[in-house]
Amino acid sequence: MRYNIDPRQQAVRDRVKEFAEKEINPVFRDLDRALEKLPVEYYRKLGKAGMIGFAMPKEYGGEGRSNIEYITLIEELAYWDPATALLAAVPELAVYPIIHFASDEQKKKYLPAAASGEKIPAFALTERMAGSDAANQQTIAKIVGNEFVINGEKIFIMHGDACDFAVLFCRIGDEDEGRPKVSAIIIDADRPGFKGFTLKHKMGMRAATTGRIELKDYKIPVSHQLGEVGKGFRYAMATLDGARIGVAAQGVGIAQRALDEAVSYAKSRIAFGAPIAKLQAIQWMIADMGTHLEAARALTYKAAQMQDKGEKFTIEASQAKLFASEAARFCVDRAMQIHGGYGYIGEFSIIEKLYRDQRVLEIYEGTSEVQRLVIAGNYLR
């Protein structure tokens, strides 16, 4: 059962279902089990279907959809395959700072190719010592003449191993000048000094690869600075507010699939002479799954609506992300318990894959612990 707060959502659901039947269902298992390499052709199919630039501005090649339509897209893609939802979500995350803070020239250069899926963008914020503590950036860009000379390393960067360009967060200035504030620079991956590496043996979301970026005496014109010097941390946090709603939508899609699979299995699995759906223990699991799911969906839609209205939504995004990611874990865990061995073995059902894919929702775009800090801080302020 799906609940729409906007009639346009159903059209999005129908569109994703049609795409899934033709393009996702035949390949998602193979992509999950393949060598760890971004499926570029598959990514470009998403682009041609309009699912990469879904919320990007029309004037730059996107579809210009509302946030509620966008999170419905991510929810539905996650229902069919969470990794495919992530493939569609990462570009929106990566170009958000360009859409909102870049110059017109930068927007014209980077957005159309990103919206079409021709070019792969990345959001290069996290470092080994700057994960939850995102302000602790160690990457330094020194100004030499009219160029930045950048040295540093980024890790856990979605598509960092395959990107064509990235929004890089770093400090501009000399290390001996104290601690300059975080700034943002758009960097191209085809310049000397840029190296991208795939982080191997990921637990889940395998089709959407995660990488490490190494920058060694990397040079790029100072015209690639994004926005104002020292505003990078604010740009990054604004980006993550919106991205957290997208993660919540992934959680809703995963939870819905887990519930649907559990209900279907409970009705068909015979034990002690009757479907296990007749057992009170199973009914209570399904009741709790459905309640967690609908609460997660309501929080997610509320945050998206607030974003569409231009209202401040930081706390609502964190609440949605926190609850929906943990609701997805709860639902997948209960679905695994209902399926028993048939859920644990990937040959028999999708539950094993959902179990692996879900876990990262509680980690990326701010861990559940960080979300609790954000939420509490807003109430206590």
- Known catalytic residues? 365
Please give the Cα distance from 52 to 70 (Å, whole number): 10
Please give the Cα distance from 81 to 278 (Å, whole number): 30
Which residues, in sequence order, are CB contacts of 297 under 8 Å at separation 6+?
A: 3, 252, 324
Residue 271 parent element (H or E): strand 270-271
- The helix/strand/coil state of 160 is coil
Contact 324/304 with Cβ under 8 angstroms? no
- The helix/strand/coil state of 315 is helix
From the list 178, 174, 119, the residue with the least C-alpha distance to 150 is 174
Burial zone of 243 (CB within 10 Å; 0-12 exposed, 13-18 middle, 19+ buried) = buried
Please give the Cα distance from 75 to 9 (Å, whole number): 11
**How many Cα atoms sit within 13 Å of 321 on the Cβ side?**
30
- Which pair of tokens denotes residue 65? 């959809």
Provide the 8-state DSSP code for 206.
Answer: T
